[in-house]
């Protein structure tokens, strides 16, 4: 699967695109606004990529992709649950995100990453989860 790696390198923000042949291409930005605009260029094809985001940029990236304001970011980050084990995922442990059809993201613990390849969307809500908060207890 193709990946987008998003991190900060020295003073630059970096979007590194890794294709299916494991070749990578970097785009560097000098500001957060530049990074957000760079992410917007992937808007139509975002579901083709696995996102790996540095923990210090996680809130910015998720907020930018979901188009959230400050209050929305904080609300979205609280109660974030792993799509595999359904336990809370602190921002510091989130390294893998999958964008859902509605534009939201499902988070996964690093330790659960190997199980994400076989996960199918929930039959009730369509999210890529083994256990859904709203559908299953």
- 26 φ, ψ to 5°? -110, 140
What is the pTM for the complete model shown? 0.50
* 84 neighbors 108 (Cβ within 8 angstroms): yes
> Can you list the alpha helix ranges (DSSP code H) found in the chain?
32-40, 58-66, 70-77
pLDDT at 92: 55
Residue 9 has pLDDT above 80, yes or no: yes
pLDDT at 69: 41
Neighbours of 121 (CB within 10 A): 15
pLDDT digits (tens, 9 = 90+) for 29-88: 988 888 888 888 887 777 788 888 888 888 888 777 766 444 343 333 334 677 777 777
In the chain, count H helices and then E strands.
Answer: 3, 6
Q: How far apart are CA 102 and CA 104, in angstroms?
A: 6
């Amino acid at each position: 699967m193709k990946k987008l790696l998003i991190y900060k390198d020295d003073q630059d923000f970096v979007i590194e695109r890794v294709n299916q042949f494991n070749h990578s291409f970097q785009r560097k930005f000098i500001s957060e606004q530049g990074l957000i605009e760079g992410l917007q260029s992937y808007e139509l094809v975002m579901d083709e990529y696995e996102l790996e985001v540095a923990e210090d940029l996680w809130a910015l990236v998720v907020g930018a992709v979901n188009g959230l304001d400050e209050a929305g970011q904080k609300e979205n980050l609280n109660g974030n649950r792993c799509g595999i084990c359904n336990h809370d995922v602190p921002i510091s442990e989130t390294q893998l995100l999958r964008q859902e059809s509605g534009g939201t993201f499902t988070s996964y613990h690093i330790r659960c990453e190997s199980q994400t390849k076989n996960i199918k969307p929930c039959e009730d809500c369509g999210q890529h989860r083994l256990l859904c908060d709203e559908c299953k207890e």
